[in-house]
Structure 1
């Protein structure tokens, strides 16, 4: 493209400090360096992790430096590639990834994990391999959230943190596979390995939770119980396969006791999609004492979960999942294919569509529980 090798001036939603709304600024995005790719972001999703870092960083997230551009769930088109990049070309449709897959390390070669750590330490603090960001504002470095920064019209990511997808995929739908849907769906089918005719409970019916519900249904669960304090989400949960929903506020006893009673002993599988340590404990204790399995998909970096040792000793299993267990670079294109073949729902997650300059409205919709996913058009 004509912009290859040049600095691109574009709009981005910049977080200047914790607790303050995002500000739309004219930023500069430098050309990609070795092993990097610059992409034009077409669509991005507002994820709870973005909101939590901006407004509750001290409670559930480790500190990352400001100013930064949030957004880690997006899709776009390759604008240019840096030196030694051979797997991407200008014009390719892509999904940036906060979880890399280098394909060469011990973890990438293992079938037991998807936790590649290529450039991990740097991207976690908002910079790329050389210790700097490619985004700046009037000469000041602007950090890239999880190495992505999807709330910028252009961004630069490592080539190991990018999935190339089919050319006919609608970017304003498949962006969901960059985080929320992949995480929840994979939590059920990959990590929990939900079995046919089993009984499941999904705690939290946001995008991740609804994707977990969908995963339980695809796996053939006969009973899928959605748990949320917002009853407005129950109808949507039914669309994804929930057979019934429960509001903890409607009961005087703890929700885990309610579920154990409802299921005559506990559920086979529980998936926690909120990121609250107390809810994680409730999800774990809602499973069968002899063979129940609980998967934690909700994100918190500083919380401490309370688990009674006896609950483990009696036979329960407690596991965590990151990005749903998917090998990011190779599996995201397969999930896109499943969507295109109508084997995977995506459209139903999107409740609102807004331009970049209304991104703070999208954050409010998320905070008040009025949205599942808002697509931001860049």
Structure 2
């Protein structure tokens, strides 16, 4: 492309400091260096983790920053040494990079990558940023930074997807859908005829329900204080839904009573210590598995005896998927209609209305809002 090797000026939503409103700015995006890829974004989802970062709940996030991590786009140019990606490819930037060479990447028990974990959060591997605005360096976010018309990511943080993929709702595979769906299939390994409880019926929680249904769970209980989400939860596979505010006893106690001792699998998709404990206590004392998915900056405290009886407590990052290998497969499964991402999309807005998208998130009136560039 004619822009290859050149600085690109484009629009981006810059967050200058914690709790500051999004500012639509003209930024400069530098060309990709060795083993880097520059991407023209087509669409991006709004995820609760973006909101938590905006609020300053995660110390690793540095300001000023370009947030966003659930995108899909087309490769504009590549740096030296990039082997498997070329300009014009449809791609998904990856929040969970995969170098393919480190101890973790080679181990089937994890989808973490030591190479990325050893690098400074918010900067590329050489310790610099590819974004500038008003003469100032702007930090990257979660290896992706998708709230911009163009972004630069490392080769290990991008997955080439099917050329037939739609460049819209498929962006949800970049985070929310894959995280929830994989937590059921890969992390918990939900078995047929099992019982499951899902705490939090946002995009991730609903994706967990989809995974539990495909795995053959017999009873899927959705838990949320917003009853407006119950219909879609049931449409996607929940057999029943519970609003904790409707009862005068703890929701975990209600679930224990209704399931005869607790569920086989409990999933926490909110990111609150209180719901993490509720999920843990709602699992069967002898063999229940609880999976924590929601990101939280709070501290979790509980009596270890609750685990010594036989319960298992796990966490799930990006649903356990080996990103570069398995994101393309998930896109292919979507194209084969094995799951319906459209069920998770309630709103679509032009990118410039990003603040309106976050207002919808705060209101609880949306599941996923997709911003179109």
TM-score normalised per structure 2: 0.99
1:103-136 Cα shifts (integer Å, max 9, x gaps): 1111111011001122334452x11011111011
Per the alignment, residue 13 of structure 1 pairs with: 13
Mapping for residues 101-112 of structure 1, pairs under 5 Å: 101-112=98-109
Per the alignment, residue 199 of structure 2 pairs with: 203
SS of structure 2 residue aligned to 1:68: coil
Is contact 1:119–1:128 with CA below 8 Å preserved after alignment?
A: no
What is the aligned residue count?
373
Q: Which ranges in structure 2 are unaligned for 5 or more consecutive residues?
A: none
Q: CA RMSD for the aligned pairs?
A: 0.9
**C-alpha distance in 1, partners of 2:28/2:217?**
49
1:261-299 Cα shifts (integer Å, max 9, x gaps): 111111110011001111101101001111111001111
Alignment of 1:177 onto 2:173:
yes
Per the alignment, residue 187 of structure 2 pairs with: 191
Alignment of 1:158 onto 2:154:
yes
Per the alignment, residue 258 of structure 1 pairs with: 254
Per the alignment, residue 314 of structure 2 pairs with: 319
**Residue number among 62, 65, 68 corresponding to 2:65 in the alignment:** 68
Per the alignment, residue 343 of structure 2 pairs with: 348
**C-alpha distance in 2, partners of 1:306/1:242?**
30
Is contact 1:75–1:175 with CA below 8 Å preserved after alignment?
A: yes
**Residue number among 84, 87, 90 corresponding to 1:87 in the alignment:** 84
**C-alpha distance in 1, partners of 2:120/2:228?**
36
**C-alpha distance in 1, partners of 2:235/2:224?**
15
**C-alpha distance in 2, partners of 1:123/1:77?**
26
**C-alpha distance in 1, partners of 2:5/2:49?**
33
**C-alpha distance in 2, partners of 1:114/1:63?**
20
Is contact 2:103–2:114 with CA below 8 Å preserved after alignment?
A: no
Per the alignment, residue 32 of structure 2 pairs with: 32
Q: Which ranges in structure 1 are unaligned for 5 or more consecutive residues?
A: none
Per the alignment, residue 4 of structure 2 pairs with: 4
**Residue number among 360, 363, 369 corresponding to 1:374 in the alignment:** 369
More displaced 10-residue stretch of structure 1: 151-160 or 113-122: 113-122
**C-alpha distance in 2, partners of 1:267/1:68?**
41
1:3-33 Cα shifts (integer Å, max 9, x gaps): 0000000000000111121010000100000
**C-alpha distance in 2, partners of 1:237/1:327?**
27
TM-score normalised per structure 1: 0.97
**C-alpha distance in 2, partners of 1:210/1:325?**
17
Is contact 1:161–1:329 with CA below 8 Å preserved after alignment?
A: yes
Per the alignment, residue 144 of structure 1 pairs with: 140
1:60-116 Cα shifts (integer Å, max 9, x gaps): 422422110000110000000001111110000000011111111111110110011
Is contact 1:123–1:145 with CA below 8 Å preserved after alignment?
A: no
